[in-house]
Structure 1
Amino acid sequence: MKPLGQGRTSVVYEYVPARFEKQVHVQEVLACVCGRGIVTAPPPARVVDRGEYGPGFLAHVVTSKCADAMPLHRLAQRVERSGVPMSRSTLTDLFHKSASVLLPLSSHLLQVIAAAEVVWADETPLRVLDVKKTRLGYLWTFLTQNEAGQWLIGYRFSMGRASKTPKEVLGGTRGALVVDAYTGYNAVTLPEGRIRVGCWAHVRRRFFDALSTAPESREAMDLILELYRVEAQARGADVVRTAAHRELRQLSSTPVLKRLRAWLDAQAPRHPPKSPLGQAISYTLKQWDALSRFVSDERLPLDNNRSESALRKAALGRKNFLFVGHEAAGENLAGLYALVATCEANGVNPEEYLADVLLRVQTHPNARIGELLPHEWKRLRAADSS
């Protein structure tokens, strides 16, 4: 027998379970022969002074909850199956300690977003455990896309849906704010504030909901679809957010808007204001200026779907772990969500990132804290390895 060529190659993907390890560090102690001094080797780097859990362990806890929507009691069971005694209360404590250590980063991330020219925003309810019953809090997201096309995603938790949170985050800033019609954002979009940009996805949903009672709603939906086709054309030509994109919108989208406005004006008197189609028409006409602004600025999107997408992970978490224990827990969750979401938006492994910055952030110069944000961390790591 003799071999024929390289032989046949078979590929099999196998799962090798992750493991936790107990590391024992021995610090050498030396005494001076003169008898006047003792020197002890430095201990291993720790996230928390005298803490028993390393940065990789804490990063795994945060990533499991924020990226994978895993309740901590379920994670505790998984850790115990690996041979490490663990309780939910211990993991909860580690989660909140991680949030505290990383607070300078999550706070700075939100400041960078607030300073941007174009900001997207949205909010979703999140239950908070109280003594006798749960209360309703809100998780807000604020995000932007920088000049390099990188998405920065921030979150803020509050115990209400009033305008207080948008004012705290965006008060005093200028630019554009992409939101739905919720009036809670009026405090930062009124005169002397940001310019409000509407969401065509919300408009389309209202006409879709009216289809069963008013088939003519299809005409509005078809016109809205034409607006999205113009955007698809811009993506196909690779001119998104360029002057060519603006020219394309003015050439192709403006006529569509004129036709849609004429249709709305003609249909409005024909339908009762409280009918599904009447409400859809009224909603669109009230938002018309905000909905039309995208034509004159290539940086502005057609809808607020990016914000809704940024809240989907939180919605999944809400189904899995049901509520947060108290207001401070909601604030910690928001801060860690922000760092993990920005990692995922920029192709950064959140577990690897967190394991590194949990130690680094404690000694990094505050004036250069932006270097530790996920997108900058990725860029600097790539520069170091080249």
Structure 2
Amino acid sequence: MQRGLGRWSGTLLTDRYGGYDSVIDPRIHPDRLSAGCVAHARRKFDELARDGTSPIGDEAIRRYARIYAVEAELKDMSEGERRAQRQELAKPLWNKLKTWLALERRLVADGGGAAGAIDYTLGHWSPLTQYLEDGAVAIDNNHLERQIKPWAMGRRAWLFAGSELAGQRTAIVMSLVQSARLNGHDPWAYLRDVLQRLPTQRSSQLEDLLPHRWQPASDAAP
């Protein structure tokens, strides 16, 4: 992904939430690609399998398991090698999955769970398989979901932030805390240092305080 002031280009991996549509609309942003979270597609079949409402769920889970087994073998490869192996090993499994789902869709009634699970995968086929074309793109966004799980679990307790502005400020602080963790920093040490330096930090150097660029004051260049 390439970043710039207020603009970026690259691939955005999402769970297909409609709120992302405007930032990955190819008519507006031809330099951006959409990738879909495979775990979300698989999860719909997992629900069928657990409910025991359709044998399609069990078979779909087995097929997705083969795809994930391939991905597990590629985790230590370079981006180029990973893409080549995905094309050779994973893409044929996806093609077989698509053929099988299309056949099964003809046999299930509209409006049911099986139809919904199949329609989700087939309807988002292009973004779900986008990761095959780019070794830098993950197969799903489970890693990110694990990172934001504490906020998702606590949001009911945080319904009363005081005001909409207070809620926005809380979201900013949470983003900084989690970004600091992802960059290997102690969040408390990071926030304390940043808050102490902010009053005297030059406006042109504010980006140096972002988690991915931050250095403790004692380590920063004079």
The alpha-carbon deviation at position 347 of structure 1 amounts to: 2.0
Distance 1:316 1:181, change over 3 A: closer
Distance in 2 of aligned mates of 1:373 and 1:234? 32
Distance in 1 of aligned mates of 2:136 and 2:99? 26
AA aligned opposite 1:280: A
The alpha-carbon deviation at position 378 of structure 1 amounts to: 3.9
Distance 1:189 1:377, change over 3 A: closer
Distance 1:252 1:382, change over 3 A: farther
Number of matched residues? 216
Distance 1:361 1:343, change over 3 A: same
The alpha-carbon deviation at position 304 of structure 1 amounts to: 2.2
Distance 1:216 1:355, change over 3 A: same
Distance 1:301 1:334, change over 3 A: same
The alpha-carbon deviation at position 298 of structure 1 amounts to: 0.7
Distance in 1 of aligned mates of 2:20 and 2:158? 29
The match for 2:111 among 274, 289, 292 is 274
Counterpart check, 1:365 vs 2:205: no
Secondary structure in 2 matching 1:175? strand
Distance in 2 of aligned mates of 1:264 and 1:382? 56
The match for 1:239 among 77, 80, 98 is 77
In the alignment, is the contact (CA less than 8 A) between 1:348 and 1:378 conserved in 2?
Answer: no
AA aligned opposite 1:115: R
Unaligned runs of 5+ in 1: 1-112, 117-168
In the alignment, is the contact (CA less than 8 A) between 1:178 and 1:197 conserved in 2?
Answer: yes
State the identity as a percent.
Answer: 33
The match for 1:196 among 27, 34, 52 is 34
Secondary structure in 1 matching 2:74? helix
Matches within 5 A, 1:196-345: 196-211=34-49, 212-235=52-75, 238-240=76-78, 242-345=79-182
Counterpart check, 1:183 vs 2:18: yes
The alpha-carbon deviation at position 333 of structure 1 amounts to: 0.1
In the alignment, is the contact (CA less than 8 A) between 1:273 and 1:282 conserved in 2?
Answer: no
User: Relative contact order: is structure 1 or structure 2 higher (C-alpha 8 Å, sep ≥ 6)?
Assistant: 1
Q: Name the structure 2 match of 1:106.
A: none
More helix per residue: 1 or 2?
A: 2
TM-score (norm: length of structure 1): 0.52
The alpha-carbon deviation at position 187 of structure 1 amounts to: 1.6
The alpha-carbon deviation at position 282 of structure 1 amounts to: 0.6
Unaligned runs of 5+ in 2: none
Deviations 1:245-268 (A, max 9, x none): 111111111111011011111101
